[in-house]
Structure 1
Amino acid sequence: MKKLGLFIIAIGFIACQSENKTSNTTDTTSVVTTGDSLTFKYDSVKVYSKTPVSVDKNVTDTSKAVISYPLFNDEKVNQFVETKIKLTADSGKNYKTYNEYATDFIKGYDDFRKSEKDYPQTWFLDINAKVVKQKPGYLSLLNTYVNYSGGAHPNSVFIYLNYNPATHQEILLDSLIQPGSLPKLTAVAEKIFRKNEKLSPTASLKDGYFFDKDTFKLNDNFTITDQGLMFLYNPYEIKAYAYGKTELVIPFSELKEIAKPNSLLSPAN
């Protein structure tokens, strides 16, 4: 399928809200969520540019970078989440910490303003990782990445992270389905996709969709919900920008001959 780097979606704003803070900050919430042996609280890193968007002293808008994430009592889980969040960086740099990631984004803005002093807009980076599912042997998070550094609208991507906190391993799709069953899973998914899109079984995907060779394909962006196995296609991944993201749920009842026995794809688990 066609990919355009970071997929794009309108977020409903194209500039930062007014902020009077202009220094690096780290915020920690007091909310603690528990489940099995894991506990976590949400933490965040915020870095603000000291360069205002306007020379007018009455205008205090400035660029900011915010990274919010769950902080677990298990350091191995934290390392997994942090690594995955930092992989969303489109700079190709290997950041050691969240703060380094956020600081580098602001540095990019400050460097840009040195040569473009009349640039009328702020930049922002907003990364938000949230726990969406927690049960024995399964932790699912949704990492939302939103970036604006000029242009008509922000860049955005939504990525599910799946992890087994007992074995400290990332959960991949292949580990959940029978060997060689991906074609069958894809066929089931395509049937549901066509129904959702109001397409006939033989309608071409050439018009209006971005699948490679006009052939339906599953990606590796999934989570396990109470209803079944859900895949998420990002904006611009398979459809035009205006359609936003696309979610596709395959019910557990359709996975009986596809899922590995006693896997997470069994509703009893």
Structure 2
Amino acid sequence: MKNPAVPILFSAAFFFYACKKTESKIIDTKTESKSPEKFILDSLSVNDSVKINEKLSVNYASKVLIFPTLKDKALLDSIYYDKKGITDYSKQGLQNFLDKDKAEFFSSVKEDSKEWISDIQNPQTWEAGSFMKLISQNDDFLQIEYLHTSYQGGAHGNYSFDTRVFDLKNNKKLDLKDITTMPKARLEELLMKNLDKLPSGTTNSDGPVKNSDMLLVDVIPANKDFYFDEKNLYFHYSPYEIAAFAAGDIVIPVSWKELDGTINPEFKKRMKIN
């Protein structure tokens, strides 16, 4: 998930999301009687910068996914939860929102910087980024990762993730209780046990560093940022959420076998979990 050097990790993540050109594609899904049509996915990217003065430049980048076949307003409100005030979810509507958001960001930095810009010693570029990424769309479950990045001086930029799963069959955001009824304490035990199942990607002079070596908490909570595949339920943690920044973001898998006996029957059937 991560490279050893955190500043490099931030730059790589920002470059990958910010520089990818607008793309359109159609993803075939399994046909059900309720939704015989193809699921259509489109995307829109914005990447622009402005120079405040000789010392400070500002960059704004964003990528949004667009879903022309989704019409339920409550569902779309949840998908675009981080786009405050948006009401038009068409491609043009989202373009208008990003253009307005970009202009407001540039204006706010320009205004706020008047008091302290003389304190900046070396030329630098401040950044703000927001990027949507499709994890998967299967069995009428739409899984999206949201990456938010920023840099406003200092040793490194900051970034955080949100992960959401949407039930397209019932037009709602999926909650953990819709997947498993496992008691909180038992799930926390599994998360701690599985903390090092996926390598951290962080190294030092002695070699690879385990996630558990950088842990900041005594209990790992089952957070709201989860997704899944045919093998596991995954919990995604942003930097500082459970571990030091050097650990980057951490993903902890919990297998369906470990959750056996607590999986929601309807979910189990739709995911074909044996």
TM surpasses 0.5: yes
Per the alignment, residue 110 of structure 2 pairs with 110
Q: Distance in 2 between matches of 1:190 and 1:163?
A: 27
Q: Percent identity?
A: 19
Q: Is the 8 A contact 1:132 1:142 kept in 2?
A: yes
Q: Is the 8 A contact 1:176 1:260 kept in 2?
A: yes
Relative to its length, the structure with more helix (as a share) is 2
CA apart distance, 1:193: 2.4
CA apart distance, 1:78: 4.1
CA apart distance, 1:225: 2.2
Q: Is the 8 A contact 1:252 1:267 kept in 2?
A: no
Per the alignment, residue 46 of structure 2 pairs with 45
Scaled by the length of structure 1, what TM-score is found? 0.72
Per the alignment, residue 203 of structure 2 pairs with none
Q: Distance in 2 between matches of 1:133 and 1:100?
A: 30
Partner of 2:144, secondary structure, is: strand
2:183 is the counterpart of 1:181: yes
Per the alignment, residue 80 of structure 1 pairs with 78
Q: Distance in 1 between matches of 2:48 and 2:197?
A: 45
Q: Residues 29, 12 of structure 1: CA spacing in aligned structure 2 closer, same or farther, 3 A cutoff?
A: closer
2:257 is the counterpart of 1:253: yes
CA apart distance, 1:103: 2.7
Structure 2: 5+ residue stretches without partners: 1-5, 30-37, 87-96, 200-211
Per the alignment, residue 35 of structure 1 pairs with 28
Per the alignment, residue 142 of structure 2 pairs with 139
Q: Distance in 2 between matches of 1:188 and 1:265?
A: 23
Number of residue pairs matched by the alignment: 227
Q: Is the 8 A contact 1:227 1:249 kept in 2?
A: no
Structural RMSD (CA): 3.2
* Matching residue within 124, 129, 150 for 2:127: 124
Partner of 1:263, secondary structure, is: helix
Q: Residue 258 of structure 1 aligns to which amino acid in structure 2?
A: T
CA apart distance, 1:223: 0.5
CA apart distance, 1:145: 0.9
Scaled by the length of structure 2, what TM-score is found? 0.71
Q: Distance in 2 between matches of 1:152 and 1:75?
A: 44
Q: Residue 77 of structure 2 aligns to which amino acid in structure 1?
A: Q
* Matching residue within 168, 176, 190 for 2:192: 190
CA apart distance, 1:241: 1.1
Query: Would you identify which runs of 4 or more consecutive aligned residues in structure 1 move more than 6 Å?
Result: 194-197
Q: Residue 31 of structure 1 aligns to which amino acid in structure 2?
A: S
Q: Residues 189, 50 of structure 1: CA spacing in aligned structure 2 closer, same or farther, 3 A cutoff?
A: closer
Q: Distance in 1 between matches of 2:213 and 2:254?
A: 24
Q: Distance in 2 between matches of 1:133 and 1:79?
A: 19
Task: State the Cα deviation string for residues 46-105 of structure 1 (Å, max 9, x = none).
Answer: 443252444xxxxxx83121110111112445433222x33xxxxxxx454333333332
Task: State the Cα deviation string for residues 130-159 of structure 1 (Å, max 9, x = none).
Answer: 111101220001111111122221110011
Per the alignment, residue 66 of structure 1 pairs with 61
